[in-house]
Structure 1
Amino acid sequence: MSYALRMSRVASRREQYSQATRAALLAAATRRFAEQGFAKTALEDIAADIQATRGAIYHHFANKTALFEAVFEELEHTALQESAEAAASASDPWEAAFRALDVFLEHCCDPVYGKVVWQEGPIALGWPQWLAAEEALAYGFIQQLLSDLMDTGQLERQPLETTTRLVFGMLTAAGMTLADAAESAKPQLKAEYLAMIGKLVGALRPAPNPAFG
C-alpha cells in the first residue's frame, strides 16, 4: 500500500470521527437545551454527556451560541424537510399547503422543537437574529406554496410579499402559542389553529361563478 493511500485512509477515518463527534455533540446539546434552556446549559455538561472534552466542542463550534444555532437550524431543517415532503405527496396546491401546515403545527407541539425553536431561540440568538433565521429558513417555502395557489387559481391574485408576510406572522403566532401550551392542551389548540388558518387563507379563494353553479 502506498504512503499516499495510507494517509488518505487515515484522513478519511479522522473525518468520519470528526463527523460522528459533531453529530453526538448536537444530539447532546439538543437534549440539554430542551431540558435546561440555553442559559442553564454548560458546555462542560454537553461534553461530559458524550465523554468528550470542552476542547472537542470548540473544535466544531466557536461558542455556546454557535452550538445552539446549529441545533436550532438542524431542528428547523428537519421540520421544513418533512413539511416539504408532505406537500409533495399532495394531489393539488391547496392540499399541499395544508398538509405542510399540519406537519409544521405537529412539530410545534413537540416539546423539544417547541422549547428550542420557539422559547429558547429568541433568548439565545436575540430577537432580530432569531426572526431573521426563521425567515431565512421558512419564508421562501411559505411564499412558494402561496405562489402555487395563486398561479393555479386556487387563491385570488394578491400582492405575494404582503400575503406571505401575513401568513408568516400567523404561523409564528401559532408556533409560539403551541410551544407555551400545556401538553394536554396542544391537540385541541393545533386543531383550532389548523381550522382558523384554513378559514383565513380560504377567504382569499375565488368566489364560485354563478354561471356554472
Structure 2
Amino acid sequence: MKRAEKVEDTRRKLIQAARRAFAEKGYAAVSMDDITASVGLTRGALYHTFGDKKGLLQAVVDQIDTEMASHAHAVASEAASLWDGLIAEGVAYVKMALNPEVQRIVLLDGPAVLGDPSQWPSQNNCLQMTIRTLDKLIEEGTVNPVNTEAAARLLNGAALNAALWIAASDTPEDVVDKAIEAFLWMVDGLKITKP
C-alpha cells in the first residue's frame, strides 16, 4: 500500500471508529485509546492524523453534516418547483434531528466542543446554496426582493436552531412538528402573495 493510501486508510478507520463510539457513548465518555484500540491503531496515529480528539470530532461532524446536506439537497431536487424544494430542504434538515447519531454528535456534542455551528465550514456551503436558490426565486418572481444573504442566514439559522431544539428536547418527536410548523410560517413570509 502506498503512503497516501495508508494515510487515507488510517483516516477512514479512525473516523469510522470515532463515529460509532461518539454516537454510542458521547464525546466526553470516549477515550482516544478506546477509538484507536478498536481499529488496531496507536494514539500516535490519531495525533498524527487529526492533532487530537477534538480534531477527530471535527472530522466526524464534517462527515455527518455533509451527509445531512446531501440528503436535504436530494429531497429538494425531487420537489415540483424551486420554491417547494427550498421548503422540502429545510424540513428535511429539521427532521434529521430525530436521528440519534445526528442528535448526539452534530447537535449536542458538536456545538459543546467545536463552538457555534453556524461557523462550521459545512454550514457555510449550505448558506451559499441557499443564497443561490433565493436569488433564482427572486429572479423568477416567487420571492419578494430581499437581501438574499440576510434571508439565507435567517432560514438556515431557523432550521439549525429548530434541529438544536429537537435534539435537546426530552421528547423530540413532540417538538419536531411544532418546529416544522413555525419554520413553514416563517418561510412563507418570503413568498410573493399574488392577488
State whether TM-score is above 0.5: yes
TM-score range, shorter chain: 0.7 to 0.9
**1:96-175 → structure 2 map (5 Å cutoff):** 96-127=85-116, 130-133=117-120, 135-175=123-163
Q: Identify the residue that residue 28 of structure 1 maps to in structure 2.
A: 17
Q: Deviations along 1:91-111, whole A, 9 cap, x unmatched?
A: 211111122123212221111
Distance across 1 between alignment mates of 2:152 and 2:90:
14
Q: Identify the residue that residue 51 of structure 2 maps to in structure 1.
A: 62
Any unmatched runs of 5+ in structure 1?
1-9
The alignment's TM-score, normalised by the length of structure 1, stands at: 0.81
**How big is the shift at 1:82?**
1.3
Q: Deviations along 1:76-121, whole A, 9 cap, x unmatched?
A: 1111111112212222111111221232122211111111111111
Rg bigger for which structure? 1
Q: Identify the residue that residue 186 of structure 1 maps to in structure 2.
A: 172
Q: Identify the residue that residue 176 of structure 1 maps to in structure 2.
A: 164
Q: Deviations along 1:53-81, whole A, 9 cap, x unmatched?
A: 21221232111111111001001111111
Q: How many residues align?
A: 194
CA contact (8 A) 2:134 2:148 kept: yes
CA contact (8 A) 1:25 1:57 kept: yes
Structure 2 CA distance for partners of 1:151 and 1:191, relative to 1, 3 Å: farther
Greater CA deviation, 53-62 or 70-79?
53-62
Distance across 1 between alignment mates of 2:149 and 2:7:
42
CA contact (8 A) 1:90 1:99 kept: yes
Any unmatched runs of 5+ in structure 2?
none
**How big is the shift at 1:43?**
0.7
Residue identity over aligned pairs, in percent, reads 24
Greater CA deviation, 139-148 or 151-160?
139-148
**How big is the shift at 1:37?**
2.7
Distance across 2 between alignment mates of 1:175 and 1:41:
24
Distance across 2 between alignment mates of 1:187 and 1:97:
23
Distance across 2 between alignment mates of 1:137 and 1:115:
22
- Considering only aligned residues, what root-mean-square deviation do their CA atoms show, in Å? 2.0
**1:31-42 → structure 2 map (5 Å cutoff):** 31-42=20-31
CA contact (8 A) 2:91 2:159 kept: no
CA contact (8 A) 1:76 1:137 kept: no
CA contact (8 A) 1:77 1:137 kept: no
